[in-house]
Amino acid sequence: MEKSDIYLTRVRDFNIKKYQKAREFYDIELEKNHLFVHSLGQISFNCCRLRLDKRELYKRGGGLFGSDPSTGSIGVITINMPRIGYLSKTKKEFFERLGHLMELAKESLEIKRKALENFMEKGLYPYSRHYLEGVKKIRGAYFSNHFSTIGLLGMNEALLNFLGENIATKRGRAFTLEVLDFMRERLLKYQEETGDLYNLEATPAEGTSYRQAKADKEKYPKIITAGTKETPYYTNSTMLPVNFTDDVFSALKLQDEIQCKYTGGVVFHAFLGERLPDIQSAKNFVKTVFENFHLPYLTLTPTFSICPIHGYIAGEHFECPQCVIKQPCEVYSRVVGYLRPVQQWHTGKRQEFKERKEFRIP
C-alpha cells in the first residue's frame, strides 16, 4: 500500500449544510493560457468562442479529471447556407441539400481524423502525443476526446434567398431554429455511426464570409448577399445583420434561443462605439445580461484608435483629432474573434465594418 497510487479510507458520516449562493461576478487576474470548467462539465477556453459540452464524454468513461485539457476539435467544416437557400425551391429540397453537404463534411472529417491519428503514431506531433497519452491508453486513440466540428455561414442571407425574410422575423427565427435542430440531430446520428464526437459551431468565418459570397455572386449573379455588388459578404453564422439595430437588448432577445442551440461554440459580440464610462458600467451590463439571458458567451468590444504621437484615443478616428498636422491613426475593433487594426482587414470585413451599427449600452 505504501507504494500504491490508491489510498483506502473509511466512509464517515457528515452533515450537509444548504446555503443560498449569491449571484456574483468575479474580477480576477488570469494567466496567459487558461480555461474554465463549469459545473455541468462545460469547458470554455481562452479562445474567441470555443465551448465544448463534456457531458457527451461521460458516456466514454472519461469525466472531468484528466480529460478536460485533453479535448478540442480536430477541424471545422463550414456549410454555405445562402447557396442552399438560393438553389432550393421547397423546404424538403433545402433539408436534402443541407443533409448532403453534412454527409460530405462528415466523410472529410473522418478522413482527417484517421490522418491525424496516423501522423501522431508516426511521431509528427511529439508534444501533443505526450499530453494525449492518457487518452490513448483509455480509449485506444489519441484524438478520441476531440470533436469533429461542423458549422454554418450566412443563415440570414439563406433566409432572404429562400423565404424573402431576414433572421429577425418570426418566420425567419422559427426556420433557423428548425435548421439548427436538424443539424444537431444529424450530428448525434454521426456520433452513433462513427463512435466519434461531433459538435455544432457558429463558425467565425473571418475569411469565408467574403470568399464564399464573392464566389457565389460570380456564379449566381442574382443571389442575395450582404454588402455591395462589388464587395459582397455573408453574415456570420446565425447572427443578425450587422446594421439591424443599435438596441443591444433587442438583439439579445432575438439571438438568445438561437445561440443556445450550438454545442461547439458561439458568441454574442456587443460592438460599442466607444469605451464604457467606467468599469462598474461594464460589470452592471454583464450581470444584467447573464441574469436575464441564457447565451453562453458575450464580448464587449469598444472601437478605439491609436495615434503614433498621442497613443490611445476612444472611438473611431482614422486621423488624429489632437494633432495639428493630420496624422493617420490605426482604428482597432474585433474582426471576429480578436482585435485587429481595421486597415489590415480584408475587403469584405472592411465593408462589414462600414455597415456595422454599434450598440447603445444603457
> Mean pLDDT by 10-residue block, N- to C-terminus, for the chain (362 residues)?
50 50 59 54 50 47 44 93 98 98 98 97 94 90 93 98 98 98 95 92 91 97 96 96 95 96 89 84 92 92 92 92 91 87 93 93 78
Among 203, 209, 208, 360, CA closest to 267: 203
Whether this model's pTM surpasses 0.85: no
Pick the CATH number of 43-269 from 3.40.50.9100, 3.40.640.10, 3.20.70.20, 1.10.3300.10: 3.20.70.20
The C-alpha cell 450598440 sits at 359
Give the dihedral sign, CA 303/232/73/84: positive
Q: Tell me what pLDDT residue 157 has.
A: 98
307: its cell numbers: 495615434
Give 8: exposed, middle or buried? Use CB within 10 Å, 0-12, 13-18, 19+: exposed
Q: What is the dihedral of CA 265, 186, 95, 226, to 10 degrees?
A: 10
154: its cell numbers: 450566412
Sheet of 51-53: strands edge to edge? Answer: 35-37, 42-45, 51-53
**How many CA within 13 A on the CB side of residue 156?**
23
Let me know: does 263 contact 352? Beta carbons within 8 Å.
Answer: no
**How many CA within 13 A on the CB side of residue 90?**
3
Among 25, 18, 30, 57, CA closest to 41: 57
Give 104: exposed, middle or buried? Use CB within 10 Å, 0-12, 13-18, 19+: exposed
Among 297, 313, 294, CA closest to 305: 313
Among 101, 69, 102, 106, CA closest to 197: 106
Let me know: does 315 contact 303? Beta carbons within 8 Å.
Answer: yes
Q: Tell me what pLDDT residue 141 has.
A: 94
Helix 347-355 to helix 208-219 angle, to the nearest 10 degrees? 100
